Amino acid sequence: MKNLFQYLKDYKVETICAPLFKMLEATFELFVPLVMAAMIDYGIAGNNKSYIWKMSGILITLGLIGLVCSITAQYFSAKAASGFAAKVKTALFDKLQNMTFSDMDELGASTMINRMTTDVNQVQTGVNMVLRLFLRSPFIVFGAMIMAFTVDVKAALVFVVVIPVLSVIVLGIIVMTIPLYKNVQRQLDNVLEKTRENLTGIRVIRAFGKEEDEMREFEGKNNALTRFQQFVGKISALMNPVTYIIINIAVCALIYVGAIRVEAGILTQGAVVALYNYMSQILVELIKLANLIITMTKSAASAQRIGTILSMKEKPESKSDLQTKECPEKEAKVVFDHVSFTYRNAGEESLTDIHFTVKEGETVGIIGGTGSGKTSLVHLIPAFYPASQGTVYVDGQDVRTYDVDCLRNKIGIVMQKAVLFQGTLRENMLWGNEEASDEQIKEAIRLAQGADILEKKEEGLNTLVEQGGRNFSGGQRQRLTIARALVRKPEILILDDSASALDYATEAALRKSLKSLPYHPTTFIVSQRTSSIMYADKIIVLDDGKIAGLGTHEELLENCSVYQEIYASQFRREGKEALA
């Protein structure tokens, strides 16, 4: 939680002025019972109308001054809280952009969304309430007790007994509810994760007729959240009635003691009214404090969840901690030197002892069954994940020692899932190279076999892309994402099963275009189709995270049983024309 306070440093004036103006308002409020007592004892009892009007004017003045102070405090607290929330959201988004793939895999999208929205809003409310009431309410409570002593010491002893009892109850409820509210937020994460999963896969769910099953599963998670919220709410709800009971008992005791002392001539009627008003002020403030504490408890739980994200280290290890090894093949473009890789919290290795060398300009095909580690392998090249053992070299340098921007500027990668962002086609293409001209963008789209896409769009590069590129077909999205990578003119081009939605003729034309690129990038093609990689300079066959074969298409057909099996199954299905 401490690391969140830094985001209030630009609002020092507001964080000081808000409670100060609230304290000023409370100070004037504490004088009201004394004015009322004087009005009763000297004005009403003595039938002194001028004195009554005078005291009435003072009451109105105190009320107006308090109103101005309250509005000013509200302004400062709202400004500080909203500014604080904006900075925290920005910090969380920056953290998200710099997270490793391992961190994102571990956290999940639903958790990050929940922390950037619900948790931040909860903390914003907490900051706003704390600045307004955290000092004011205790000040009124203890101030009323002190003022009561100025009226009558013996009657004020009731305050001395009541306030510690209330303090114990309030603190006890806080201690009980903070960990429970953390669990509530975790349950909310589960509900949001299920909601997000359903929104993403709604078509698949309907295609398989699983609506009822998904509704039952969601209802189960939602009911679990509801039950937990009700349980925590019941504990928190105890605060107000318990406070009322104790305060009302104290009021009865106060009136009883006051009545005895008035009858004995020790106290005046106005003094008893003043004591009653001070007790009423304590009641009101304790109710506010009870609500504040509930809000603070929720905010504290949310702040801790946000703090865990902000305190996460961006890199698994610093560059200075790495032992620089000499690349075994200095002239090679990419070298995997006995690399093994295990995902965080995984039980076994995803890649085991991967060792190969790729020269500049070569095309490398990577094939294997589902879950064999193809994507994991290519993700090690741009250092999306750190190798568990061994070293990955690019241009003779360990990828872990690269400046991230420098390394990834060398690489153009097209992920398995083709993702376009809301905006125009031009804006999406400029992700590859911000300085690219329209002619360069159109050339990249042509090379990616997407010229027909532009021809069908009257707006050309100004065509609007909806969120996720949903106004384009799967094949169009794949070609446009390939074009986005080509705009960069990368030294290393990684195509991770990025032509799966293309027909064989379009894919063959795409392979021909890639071969004709004038800058001859080192290309990695991940595919399930033998037809996509059979003309590569070398092919890596993966089986259960290990290299089962390495060589050309002809060599693997002779000596790699895994490749033979894949080729034979596809050749029978696709036919000779598809492989041509």
- Write the pLDDT tens digit of every residue in 282-292: 777 877 777 78
pLDDT in tens, 557-576: 999 999 999 888 887 644 44
Q: What Rg do the C-alpha atoms of the chain give, in angstroms? A: 35
Contact call for residues 131 and 17 (beta carbons, < 8 A): no
Residue predicted with more confidence, 184 or 492: 492
Exposure class string for 131-148: b at 16+ Cβ within 10 A, else e: bbbbbbbbbbbebbbebb
481/567 Cα distance (integer angstroms): 28
Confidence at residue 579, expressed as pLDDT on a 0 to 100 scale: 42
Average pLDDT over residues 242-253: 81
Residue predicted with more confidence, 221 or 247: 221
Nearest to 534 by CA among 562, 561, 563, 513: 563
Same fold, 12-308 and 325-579: no
CA quadruple 544, 547, 548, 550: dihedral sign: positive
Is beta strand 334-341 parallel, antiparallel or unpaired with respect to 351-358? Answer: antiparallel
| pTM recorded for the entire structure | 0.69
Contact call for residues 528 and 500 (beta carbons, < 8 A): yes
Kindly report which listed range (10-24, 130-144, 488-502) carries the lowest average pLDDT score.
Answer: 130-144
Residue predicted with more confidence, 534 or 574: 534
pLDDT in tens, 334-388: 999 999 999 887 778 899 999 999 999 999 999 998 888 999 999 999 988 889 8
Mean pLDDT of the chain: 84
Contact call for residues 410 and 491 (beta carbons, < 8 A): yes
Average pLDDT over residues 268-297: 79
CA dihedral 453, 409, 525, 325 (to 10 degrees): 180
Nearest to 83 by CA among 120, 56, 108: 120
120/86 Cα distance (integer angstroms): 9
Read off the DSSP letter of residue 392.
E
Read off the DSSP letter of residue 44.
I
Contact call for residues 307 and 4 (beta carbons, < 8 A): yes
Confidence at residue 324, expressed as pLDDT on a 0 to 100 scale: 58
Confidence at residue 576, expressed as pLDDT on a 0 to 100 scale: 45
Confidence at residue 550, expressed as pLDDT on a 0 to 100 scale: 93
Residue predicted with more confidence, 568 or 173: 568
Q: With cut-offs at 50, 70 and 90, classify the pLDDT of residue 578.
A: very low
Neighbouring C-beta atoms of residue 247, cutoff 10 Å: 20
Element (H, E) at 423: strand 423-424
Listed in sequence order, the DSSP H helices in 354-424 are 374-379, 404-409
213/458 Cα distance (integer angstroms): 44
Q: Report CA 571 to chain centroid distance, whole Å.
A: 47
Confidence at residue 325, expressed as pLDDT on a 0 to 100 scale: 67
CATH topology of domain 12-308: ABC transporter transmembrane region fold (1.20.1560)
For domain 325-579, give the CATH number.
3.40.50.300
Per-domain residue ranges for the chain?
12-308, 325-579
Confidence at residue 315, expressed as pLDDT on a 0 to 100 scale: 52
